[in-house]
Amino acid sequence: MRRPPSLARLPSYPVTGGIGLMALVITGMTLSGYWSSARFEVGPTAFRSEPWRLLISALPHGDLLHLGFNLFWLWVLGTLLEEILGHFRLLGLVLLFAAGSAAAQCALEVVDGIGLSGVTYGLFGLAWVLSKRDRRLGSAADKATAQVFAGWFVLCIVFTRMNVMSDANVAHAAGAILGALVGTAMIARTLPLRVLSVAGVAAVCAASAAGATVLRPRVNLSPESAENMSFQLGYEAIQEGRFEDAVRHFQDALAMKSDNARAWYNLGIACEHSQRDAEALAAYRRAYEAPPHDARHKLAFAAFSRRLADEAKRRGDHEEAISLLRGAVEATPDDAYAWLELSAAYGAVGKPAEAEAAIAEAHKRQPGAAP
């Protein structure tokens, strides 16, 4: 097992040291509650509009045990690989291992801040393969080191199944596989083997990306599905006033389960606050039409329809007001005042018969109701 260099040499390893320091600071900020870990989570937006989440999700850690393990092995392995490969090549590989392992973890299990687990296992897999050709890596990927990584891998799986702690077990495996494939490509003596190894890296990344997006509802093994994750992110965005973000999250949730009444309702709220009136109205309608047909969703649709109808009447667009009010009384037929407003709108466009019928409906629901 390699003895790590002194921390006094940190400036000589800007990539390894820089990543370690960022992980240390960000973990401290999230564990202390100063920052929300949500800003670092992967989630569906990583594949839609915020790809940097695949990288920054490697920085926060859920507890000091995981932080200590990852920082120790990042320093042991990363410093040696930075000496051998150079700063920029190591940085590229760290980014690959971080993004690839995060995508794989998101595909098969729940992801919050997965930490540097995928990176450290990627560095070990890389060092283990390269050590077959480079004696300088022998002490960093010897039998004792392999036993530590294998033992930690098994222990994390056991602890996760026992609900003792939550570990990024898929990220461990994905990182190690990517590291081994990259290492094989680097030492391959034949072109077919090099091409096959590079293709393997591409295949792992592509499969992980597909599994984390369109295939996640089918392949995810966790109790919490992608749809639930998107819903939670959307709800948090509404609470924090980030309504455009909320719209994207609820759209992601509905892309996976289109009959989620709560998601439609919250999408309506987010769209309403984002001044997307047509989308909000459609979302509120879908909310009350979807099971379990919550009465609150009907009231929300009717109230928003009446609000838009008032705006339409002020613009002089009474036909639009009629259309909106018809939707309102369809959802809440016992609302006498909605019938009265509909009657007035019919009168404004010269439809007395329809106006009288609407007044009759209003009186049926509430005798003596007057405009």
Which residues are annotated as catalytic?
117, 172
Helices (H), the chain: 14-31, 53-56, 64-85, 87-108, 117-130, 143-161, 169-187, 191-212, 216-219, 226-239, 243-256, 261-273, 277-289, 295-315, 318-331, 336-348, 352-365
Contact 189, 133 (CB under 8 A): no
**Six-digit token string for 61:** 């850690």
Nearest to 179 by CA among 137, 126, 121, 103: 126
CA distances from 73 to 68, 145, 284 (A): 9, 10, 51
Among the listed residues 139, 202, 124, 208, the one whose alpha carbon sits nearest the alpha carbon of residue 170 = 208
Tokens of 121: 């296992």
Q: What letter would DSSP give residue 237? A: H
Sign of the torsion formed by the C-alpha atoms of 57, 62, 68 and 69: negative
Residue reference for tokens 């799986």: 157
Q: Alpha-carbon torsion 166, 171, 173, 179, what sign?
A: negative
Closest alpha carbon to 286 in 307, 301, 305, 271: 301
> What 3-state class would DSSP assign to 70?
helix
302 and 332 Cβ atoms separated by less than 8 Å: yes
Neighbouring residues of 317: CB distance < 8 A, sequence distance ≥ 6: none
